[in-house]
A and B are shown apart, each in its own frame.
Chain A
């Protein structure tokens, strides 16, 4: 710790800056990348705008809250570098950020976000509103957009949380790489395997045995596993379920009570019964 860390200005106002601004003031956080068009890969538009965020993340509302599931594969080019990656991250007691994109940037964003919410609660003595939280992630994505334009550091997350305000209930949002947020009523998917998943969730929600929101937890897990397995069938960047290695997707549920991480044996049991 540098000795000058406690700075107490006489002009102290009591309103605190947001956490990323605090980090920047202390020089602990990389400044927002500037959008420099000349720094773009010169030969092709495709290289600077890689749309592939190699992974599959899905989330949908069911009777017990919001289920968020992600496969475990991390790739570099066409090499699998890690098969136990955790892409469904807990931000606070009721919020989950699930990530598709460049892990270094995404995990850093999750850390900043986690500290932002806590910093706000501790300094301002009140919980940040859901709108505030959703906006905080949007701001981080916007700050990162310069890097995206340079072809590095693209992150496309999903954000799931529980709103305790006037109209309590689970909330689900997805984002684009520029930071636009979209609230969804039923389901969201992101990553390279998401087109297949979106198709399945749309089908299930419209013509399945039950609407997604009516599903029990076991039924919801079944749909999530089937969807991820389908995505992995054609998308090499998605891990799906590793039958030989016994590696299952990570599934978390956000509800009024908080976040539950489903134990692997439960997921394995559902998988054996209804998927395999």
Chain B
């Protein structure tokens, strides 16, 4: 059927719709830069969603666990072999995503007889200064969105990942207003938690057009905190060791929220 160009476009469109439906229930992940590093945060611990890729690179992903695993392993393999043969300083998220992951994912997506990757991934790489932090979202079709300055937007020091476009959009517009660059950890944690809540609320109410009221947001956040576990990790900017990734325990995050 795909000999005809029109049929191919149709097949791709169907496939896109199918993948979007599969990803639609994925719990959001917020990644927020702060003065001393980058925080990854999500709620609900059915399975791990935030991972260490290399010394300064972390990943969050939603989608099919099998696909996440394959891409995660590929990313770790690439980063580790590069870090071993050259040096840890030569491992770069930009190269990893643009030269390795994106082409592979695009290929799989467009080969309509093969299986695509049912996953959406969020990467961050901590820099020496907050301005050097890199955030990068890789879609199932290999498309990449970064936090860099473009004609349409200024540079952002956050990035989000969610099941639907609407949810992603609202989380981003919330962070654009509420997240101050160079914030301290506690402030970043609070804003990340709120951004997650907004993303989660929007997933449940598909007709949401704008940001919820403050009271509704607080209510939803407290309800979710009462029933779900917190998964969080940080990439520390100034650690003594080369490895900057550190997973935060549920208790550790809750203690910081109390302050």
Contacts and interface: CB of A to CB of B under 8 A. Distances in A.
Interface of A: 1, 3, 5-8, 12, 14, 16, 19, 22-23, 26, 28, 93, 111-112, 115, 118-119, 121-123, 125
Contacts of B76: 119, 122-123
A134 to B, nearest CB: 21
A12 B70 CA distance: 7
Given A1-B95, A6-B74, A19 B100 contact: no
B81 A22 contact: yes
B53 interface: yes
Contacts of A26: 81
Contact of B100 (A6, A118, A121): A6
Interface of B: 48, 51-54, 66, 69-74, 76-78, 80-85, 95, 99-101, 103-104, 241, 243
B69 A12 contact: yes
Nearest to A15: B73
Contacts of B103: 6
A112 B83 CA distance: 11
A96 to B, nearest CB: 14
A22 B73 CA distance: 12
| 4 pairs of A and B residues whose beta carbons are closest in the complex | A6-B100, A115-B84, A6-B104, A122-B76
A123 B74 CA distance: 10
A119 B101 CA distance: 19
A19 B77 CA distance: 9
Given A8-B74, A12-B73, A123-B73, A28 B81 contact: yes
B84 A111 contact: yes
Contact of A122 (B53, B74, B82): B53
B25 to A, nearest CB: 23
Contacts of A111: 84
A125 B76 CA distance: 12
Given A6-B100, A119-B76, A112 B52 contact: no
B73 A23 contact: no
B100 A93 contact: no
A5 B76 CA distance: 12
Contacts of B241: 93
A5 B243 contact: no
7 contacts: A6-B74, A6-B78, A8-B104, A12-B73, A19-B80, A118-B243, A122-B52
Contacts of B101: 6
A112 B74 contact: no
A112 B80 CA distance: 10
Contact of B77 (A3, A22, A112): A22
Contact of A28 (B70, B74, B84, B99): B84
A103 B51 CA distance: 35
A35 B156 CA distance: 58
Contacts of B104: 6, 8
A123 B78 CA distance: 12
Contacts of A12: 66, 69-70, 73
A186 B3 CA distance: 74
B84 A23 contact: yes
A121 B70 CA distance: 16
A261 to B, nearest CB: 10
Contacts of B70: 8, 12
A14 B69 CA distance: 7
A222 B42 CA distance: 51
Contacts of B85: 28
Contacts of B74: 6-8
A22 B70 CA distance: 15
Given A115-B80, A118-B243, 14 more contacts: A1-B78, A5-B81, A5-B100, A6-B100, A6-B103, A22-B77, A23-B84, A26-B81, A28-B81, A93-B243, A115-B84, A118-B80, A121-B52, A122-B76
A121 B80 CA distance: 12
A8 B52 CA distance: 20
A12 B71 CA distance: 11
A142 B164 CA distance: 53
Contacts of B71: 8
A27 to B, nearest CB: 10
Contacts of B72: 123
A19 B103 CA distance: 25
A1 B82 contact: yes
A93 B244 CA distance: 12
Given A22-B77, A122-B76, A112 B84 contact: yes
